[in-house]
Amino acid sequence: MKEIYKNLYQFTLYIPNMDFTIHQYLYKSNPSILFAAGTVQQININMAEIKNILGERKLKYIFVSHMESDEAGGVFLLKNEFPDVNIICGQLSARELFGFGYDGKILPMNNDEYLNDGELKLKFINYPSEVHLQNGLICFEENSGILYTSDLMLKFGNGEGKIINSNWHDEIKNVCDNRIPVERAKILSESLSKINPKFIAVGHGFCVKL
Ligand SMILES: [Fe+2]
Ligand SMILES: [Fe+2]
């Protein structure tokens, strides 16, 4: 675990044979939010440290970009620990969570929608996550400038605790030119151009300081 940005704690599982990292992040804001529920393996390892960092605080939100094991696997264990926690996710994931038998609080969000609560000013942006290119979300916290990008800007390599420098224009161009189907890339590029992040908390690979 590392405080990789102000009040943002990165938890990493490194998979050597893939040279790949899976990150989840606890943002110790008021209220607090976890970006990605992590895999079951991850949350079993990280739960004690998450509670330790939170101290007296309760975890109020978990952001789930889309339904895959690294984004959503830990939701049941987290709900056992924090029964009032709210899962923030897209409409599709909300239906899938229900289908998997999740009976906790779910807050389905849409593209360009905001959730304001205390120190958090969260904006959600739609992106075609890799599960059949259906709708996933990324999450921008406007007050801190933290953008959690899930799989959108993933990189291979051991990025645990590491930060690279870049600029937002290049990051948008790189992802929209290479990773998104052409017909969707223009829409995503326009959405991303409307925000001005300071720090990209990636789901996999190397975080980016802008
Ligand atoms: Fe994914
Ligand atoms: Fe992922």
| pLDDT tens-digit map of 89-98 | 999 999 999 8
Distance 150 CA to ligand 1 centre (A): 7
**pLDDT tens by residue, 143-179:** 999 999 999 999 999 999 999 999 999 999 998 888 7
Distance 75 CA to ligand 2 centre (A): 15
Rounded mean pLDDT, 184-200 = 94
- Average pLDDT score, the chain: 95
pLDDT for the residue 130: 61
d(CA 185, CA 155): 19
Other CB atoms within a 10 A radius of the CB of residue 96 amount to 18
Contact 127, 137 (CB under 8 A): yes
d(CA 34, CA 196): 21
Say which residue, 133 or 168, is predicted with more confidence.
168
d(CA 191, CA 206): 22
Contact 21, 14 (CB under 8 A): yes
Ligand at minimal distance from the CA of 148 is 2
- Using pLDDT thresholds of 50, 70 and 90, give the confidence band for residue 131: low
- How far is the CA of 110 from the CAs of 25, 36, 46, 127, 138, in angstroms? 22, 18, 29, 11, 11
pLDDT for the residue 72: 96
Distance 12 CA to ligand 2 centre (A): 12
Query: What's the whole-model pTM score?
Result: 0.96
The residue count for the chain: 210
Angle between helices 182-193 and 168-178 (to 10 degrees): 160
Distance 59 CA to ligand 1 centre (A): 23
- Using pLDDT thresholds of 50, 70 and 90, give the confidence band for residue 108: very high
Distance 174 CA to ligand 1 centre (A): 19
Rounded mean pLDDT, 80-92 = 96
- Using pLDDT thresholds of 50, 70 and 90, give the confidence band for residue 133: low
Q: Taking the alpha carbons of 193, 157, 53, 210 in that order, is the dihedral positive or negative? A: negative
Domains contained in the chain, CATH given: 2-164+196-209 (3.60.15.10)
Q: Quick one: tokens of 184?
A: 């969707």
pLDDT for the residue 89: 97
- Using pLDDT thresholds of 50, 70 and 90, give the confidence band for residue 132: low
- Using pLDDT thresholds of 50, 70 and 90, give the confidence band for residue 184: confident
Q: Quick one: tokens of 105?
A: 């609080």
**pLDDT tens by residue, 36-53:** 999 999 999 999 999 999
Look at residues 100, 105, 111 and name the one whose alpha carbon lies nearest to residue 58.
105
94-102: Cβ within 8 A, 24+ apart: 96/67, 97/64, 97/67, 97/72, 102/75, 102/76
